Amino acid sequence: MQRKTLTRFLIEQQQGPRAMPPQLRLLIETVARACKTISHAISKGALGDVLGELSRENIQGEVQKKLDVLANELLLEANEWGGHLAAMASEEMETLHRVPNRYPKGEYLLLFDPIDGSSNIDVDISVGTIFSVLKAPESASGRDVTEADFLQPGARQIAAGYAIYGPQTLLVLSVGTGVYEFTLDREIGSWKLTDGPMTIPEQYPEFAINMSNRRQWSPAVARYVEERVTGAAGPCGRDYNMRWTGSMVADVHRILKRGGVFLYPADHRQPGKARLRLMYEANPMAFLVEQAGGAATDGRVRLMEMEPAALHQRVGVVLGDRGEVAAVTEAAILAEPA
Ligand code: P6P
């Protein structure tokens, strides 16, 4: 069977009822091409002198891995000359990166975490690239894009996706018409459609959380997790399994493929203290999960309705199986003082 390529899929999306704009197709193809190059660099490992850390920190205060910087530069260079973007923002850069004046500008804003889970690179565990596409606001036409132009709720995303660099290299994306998975055919260097439209299998008894953060959890999250650890003997009525890879892309991909729920709650002891970033981790993953029939909240409210206050804002994340996400929300509501 001749599998559909990414290019053919995107051209069909242009011809489809939503008539995806050609510039968006160019954007996604450009990001996908950069992800192929990132995948190639990662696969070299120690042989490619791409492992290890640099002696500098990023805006997050995290020591940068060589591949963090390489992937960030690859995505910037691949996207800045195509005429489809107004600006980019990245986990690895303090502020936005405007398209240089020597290049044509477009109407899209691209946000990305170039290598998510980079602490796993040196121990050969799957990592990924996460991206989110917004439109520059009408008010930005005729002037330079500003950071404030990026601060749009996740519900305004035009497209989102991730590449996962694991046993296979996959590209999982949505342009608002469902979630589709492409596998990199390394022999000819093209992305081949291998799954989609994807829907999260319901009621799969598996949760993903870093149990060592127990001290940070709200009573609601603690009770939710405790009930699942108790399993069939408790109110859940069935046993659960637990997974935690330390790589959001790997955990979210597993949930899209076989179900379950992912939790990285904010630190209950310090309001606003959380791990994951809203704009280029939580929102793109929330877009995909909702497109696959799941739900995504901060433990209480829908992530994609949150009004961002800052480019690198962090947020609690609960996403995946609708029933499990609702159970965390219900526990949060019950835990609130009457
Ligand atoms: P912890 C990776 O650094 C990341 O941003 C996500 O990919 C992952 O889910 C999480 O942090 C892992 O955090 O605290 O378990 O190391």
Pairing type for strands 127-135 and 261-264 reads unpaired
User: Is 333 annotated for ligand binding?
Assistant: no
Q: Would you give the DSSP letter of residue 119? A: G
One-character DSSP codes across 9-55: HHHHHHHSTT---HHHHHHHHHHHHHHHHHHHHHHHGGGGT--SEEE
Q: How far apart are CA 252 and CA 319, in angstroms?
A: 8
pLDDT, tens digit, 9 for 90 and up, residues 92-123: 999 999 999 999 999 999 999 999 998 898 89
Element (H, E) at 109: strand 108-116
Asked if the model's pLDDT at residue 62 lies above 90, the reply is no
User: Is 116 annotated for ligand binding?
Assistant: yes
Residues 183 and 259 in one domain: no
pLDDT, tens digit, 9 for 90 and up, residues 280-326: 999 999 999 999 999 999 999 999 999 999 999 999 999 999 999 99
> Which atom of ligand 1 is found nearest the CA of 128?
7
Of the candidate ranges 60-69, 178-187, 197-206, the one whose mean pLDDT is the lowest: 60-69
Buried b (16+ CB within 10 A) or exposed e, 44-60: eeeeeebbebeeeebee
User: Is 91 annotated for ligand binding?
Assistant: yes
Determine, yes or no, domain membership for 155. yes
Q: Determine phi and psi for 240, rounding to 5 degrees.
A: -115, 155
Flag whether the pTM goes above 0.90.
yes
Question: Closest Cα to atom 10, ligand 1: which residue?
Answer: 246
pLDDT of residue 57: 74
Please report the ipTM that was assigned to this predicted complex. Answer: 0.98
Structural domain including 143 reads 6-195
User: Is 118 annotated for ligand binding?
Assistant: yes
Residues 53 and 149 in one domain: yes
CA of 179 to the centre of ligand 1 (A): 23
User: Is 259 annotated for ligand binding?
Assistant: no
Q: How many domains does the chain fold into?
A: 2
One-character DSSP codes across 284-310: HHHHHHHHTT-EEESSSSBGGG---SS
CA of 117 to the centre of ligand 1 (A): 6
Residue to mutate, 242, 275, 279, ligand 1, most ligand atoms under 8 Å from C-beta: 275
Please say which residue of 174, 195, 216 terminates a domain: 195
Determine, yes or no, domain membership for 201. no
> Which atom of ligand 1 is found nearest the CA of 249?
7
* C-alpha separations of 207 from 21, 82, 200 in Å: 38, 41, 14
Residue to mutate, 63, 68, 116, 273, ligand 1, most ligand atoms under 8 Å from C-beta: 116
Please say which residue of 195, 228, 260 terminates a domain: 195
User: Is 119 annotated for ligand binding?
Assistant: yes
pLDDT, tens digit, 9 for 90 and up, residues 140-162: 988 999 999 999 999 999 999 99
Residues 316 and 281 in one domain: yes
pLDDT of residue 54: 76
Residues 67 and 167 in one domain: yes
CA of 282 to the centre of ligand 1 (A): 12
pLDDT of residue 40: 95
CATH, residue 63: 3.30.540.10
Peptide bond into 197 cis (omega under 30): yes
Q: How far apart are CA 222 and CA 230, in angstroms?
A: 12
pLDDT band for 48, please (50, 70, 90 cuts).
confident
pLDDT band for 17, please (50, 70, 90 cuts).
confident
Query: Which residues have any ligand 1 atom within 6 Å of their CB?
Result: 116-117, 119, 210, 246-248, 264, 275-276
CATH, residue 226: 3.40.190.80
Nearest one of 89, 133, 86, 81 to 105, comparing CA atoms: 86
Asked if the model's pLDDT at residue 51 lies above 80, the reply is no
* C-alpha separations of 249 from 91, 215, 310, 313 in Å: 15, 25, 23, 19
Q: Tokens 């979210």, residue?
A: 252
One-character DSSP codes across 185-242: ETTTTEEEEEE-S--PPTT--EEE--GGGGGG--HHHHHHHHHHHHGGGSTT-S--EE
Determine, yes or no, domain membership for 200. no
Residues 11 and 107 in one domain: yes
Q: How far apart are CA 283 and CA 305, in angstroms?
A: 10
CA of 248 to the centre of ligand 1 (A): 6
Determine, yes or no, domain membership for 147. yes
Residues 41 and 115 in one domain: yes
Q: How far apart are CA 150 and CA 252, in angstroms?
A: 24
Nearest one of 253, 262, 166 to 206, comparing CA atoms: 262
